[in-house]
Chain A
């Protein structure tokens, strides 16, 4: 065939088009035949099958929610479990007049306005054939009363659901957290909403929230055939749910209980870690609350009492409380100064009890009015000399202070596997320019060196920082999850410790020097925490801190009795022990507690004793 390129062959084109049209027509007819074949298959050959399904019976698909994983402490003590509870549920499709049914039910069983409004909300989210909970937590009597009258209420059922229960109550409220009813917003944010079709609860805080995915599991379902009255005739198909994994936390409930007792009566927090692995042994924030109140909806009165309490029991001080770290930063800054060769271990600075910059008139006080006299770094840490560190700050400058403290972890979240951690603050020139639109003043460097001013740290960060010292610079990922165990193969999968990084130093002996200085804080008679070191059967390295809440004029004298309790200093203490082979690192913060050495250190000692002196396993309540 000769193809002409420039001159159009209309007849050829038309013929080509017609050929293609015929092909298209044949294809369309073929596809139409396929449709007819499919319809014949459905309407003729499977007709009986579908008629049965449609005419006499209906097929319901009922989601079966998976059982939520349990939570244990490191020794297998149960922290969160599932207990059966009765729920009154309505399947909208089977009820002609929902309002009338609810009204009739309320004569039998107490149903509050809140129950009804919540029920309406659920009603909009669920399919008509899915049962919607109306009342939770029926007691035995109510369940019995309904069962007797059940014939009057087609489409209303009592279901035994599993409800979350925290046997340890308020002891682990801030670490394990709690589940509560899933709300509309959470439902909308789910990536896989159908996985939650049968689920009523959702992890709201703590580990329950962080490991929601692991704990929840995978929904199953049942295709059931019911007759016109809704009675289940048979199960056509059952895909069982996959239960959520059990979690073993790093928490030692024994230690946790002792930590809580030690803090009793104070507002504050204790975090204890195993330095070598980054495992959290105890994490407590007081006052605390009973998480069981939240599981099935807390009543307004109890909630208000918690929410508006002056002591803020709902506030997780351990990882959301941001406090001025006070003198607990001194060992780290001392290390920074040694590393930068600004001073040597033997460098002496004279402390007259105050410090003055050339540029301004203000006197920066030492906590000790008469001064420490000639002071070395060891003495400065041991006795917490402020003037020594004012001098260091002047020589280091804020940039180097900020950079080194950031390496330790100040100003950054630890990345613990509990939702909601705050990052604290390690100020820098750049930060101040950005947030305050002001240059950095040298005076601010001085107070930063004693952990005041802008600097903020959480108890968790302080514990992690103390673990860094214990590890001689190795930073371990702080974590709560020790092992997971899926319920179908019952194999415990341990979580390996993760090294985050190593704080780089030029002279490793500097670590030893700082640790020795911290040991003398506790064990030297002049040390600021000697009262806990005097009779200690093991060696402790520690550092006290007393953080000002209340700004004072340069020459005012601090008399704690004169100051309202809420304005009193925060007491802080960080420590690790035993010094040679650290097994535990701890941070204690007592809000308005007064002195770090007098209040916080003895509390820390109780925790250290409990961990180091008791037999390792077994829970003795």
Chain B
């Protein structure tokens, strides 16, 4: 196991030269390395999945470059500054969400976008960071673990934006944001009794909810939970993606050799279902290596969180990294038929999505928290 405690101070007198540069740039090199390797793997598999589409590769390269740039910029902002501006950021986010509900553009049947003239902006992306920030800011104000009253207020902070986003309707993002808020509560030390009690209550109330639902609602939930019931609709993705994954075997069919994906069988193969292409071409070994790479980033992120000074930084960093894990787990679980189909991309591998910028911004925050430590303690 990694020693997560008591190693933080040993760094103060580590005077290696590249660490000096790192400190000036406010970047965490292990994390940067992990993210770069991941992006490279992503581009590699996208090249195959897109059918060697170079225009698409170019767009993705630009997008990744932009995302890394955002990460570097965000890393320069000190956590102290972030903490101070958190309530404002949250309020602006809420206002934008309300604006979207009233005056937003409808894209793909949901109202998510705000047209700012030059570009379109999705306020729910902002909330992915603003919600955990706000909860962390609020809880960090008093000693932890939080009192019941504080817990209640924190729940309200989470629930309001989540409901607003769910009505857009964007269930995937709203669940993700709910998770990021709840992670802060978990990391803040909410009693186990409370966590288990709530989980049990929710699980127990599910049958009751089921009983009062209409038949068509039940049918919808059933298809959601078991997409293969509807093989002409949602189930088609899953059937095809399982064939792609399964036929990949231990060693895979080799890069650019995936038959399933190249014969147009697999829908959305460069976006949400890109993991199926990856598994078909690189096999179980590739999958394990990819998961190890993700795990490396996760552990590094979690380590940064434990080393953070001050409750705000600690809670925020922890929540952001756990949310990153949710992305990975839900996407792979969905593509392999373990979880219902919700439209979440595989971070840094899937093509497109504004979410990649948000994701890298949160890594920027993580690095900022880590590299500004000394400054704060002085």
Report Cα–Cα, A6/B325, bound state, in Å. Answer: 35
Within 8 A of B (CB), among A5-56: 5-9, 13-18, 20-22, 24-25, 28-29, 31-32, 34-36, 38-40, 42-44, 46-47, 49-51, 53-55
Given contacts A29-B295, A39-B279, are A50 and B246 in contact (CB under 8 A)? yes
Within the complex, what minimum Cβ distance (angstroms) separates A64 from chain B? 10
B contact residues, range: 35 or more
Q: Which candidate, B23-31, B258-266, B368-376, is the interface stretch facing chain A?
A: B258-266
> Which residues on the B side are within 8 Å of A40 (C-beta)?
284
Residue pair B247, A54 in contact (C-beta under 8 Å): yes
Q: Which candidate, B13-21, B229-237, B341-349, is the interface stretch facing chain A?
A: B229-237
> Which residues on the B side are within 8 Å of A193 (C-beta)?
233
Residue pair A32, B318 in contact (C-beta under 8 Å): no
Report Cα–Cα, A53/B302, bound state, in Å. Answer: 42
Residue pair B143, A51 in contact (C-beta under 8 Å): no
Q: Which candidate, B34-42, B79-87, B205-213, B332-340, is the interface stretch facing chain A?
A: B332-340
The one of B143, B291, B295 that contacts A4, using a Cβ cutoff of 8 Å = B143
Interface flag for B306 (CB, 8 Å): yes
> Which residues on the B side are within 8 Å of A61 (C-beta)?
231-232, 236, 239
Count of A interface residues, CB-CB < 8 Å: 51
Residue pair A53, B247 in contact (C-beta under 8 Å): yes
The one of A18, A29, A55 that contacts B5, using a Cβ cutoff of 8 Å = A18
> Which residues on the B side are within 8 Å of A194 (C-beta)?
230, 232-233
Given contacts A35-B336, A43-B279, A197-B232, are A22 and B247 in contact (CB under 8 A)? no
Report Cα–Cα, A613/B233, bound state, in Å. Answer: 57
> Which residues on the B side are within 8 Å of A63 (C-beta)?
232
Within the complex, what minimum Cβ distance (angstroms) separates A347 from chain B? 58
Residue pair B311, A13 in contact (C-beta under 8 Å): yes
Interface flag for B155 (CB, 8 Å): no
> Which residues on the A side are within 8 Å of B295 (C-beta)?
28-29, 32
Which single residue of chain B is at the shortest CB-CB distance from A237?
Answer: B231
Which single residue of chain A is at the shortest CB-CB distance from B318?
Answer: A21
Report Cα–Cα, A4/B143, bound state, in Å. Answer: 9
Given contacts A35-B291, A61-B232, A219-B232, are A25 and B302 in contact (CB under 8 A)? yes
Residue pair B231, A223 in contact (C-beta under 8 Å): yes
Most central of A24, A61, A221 by chain B CB within 10 Å: A24
Which single residue of chain B is at the shortest CB-CB distance from A23?
Answer: B186
The one of B189, B263, B288 that contacts A20, using a Cβ cutoff of 8 Å = B189
Point out residues on B near A: beta carbons under 8 Å: 4-5, 143-145, 183, 186-187, 189, 230-233, 236, 239, 242-250, 259-260, 263-265, 279, 283-284, 287-288, 291, 294-295, 298-299, 302, 305-306, 311, 314-315, 318, 322, 325, 329, 332-333, 336-338
A–B complex contacts, Cβ < 8 Å, 11 sampled: A14-B314, A17-B315, A24-B183, A24-B322, A35-B332, A44-B249, A51-B247, A51-B249, A53-B243, A54-B260, A63-B232
- Besides A50-B242, A54-B247, A197-B232, 14 more A-B contacts (Cβ < 8 Å) are A13-B189, A17-B189, A17-B305, A25-B298, A28-B325, A38-B333, A42-B336, A43-B248, A43-B287, A51-B246, A51-B249, A61-B236, A127-B236, A194-B232
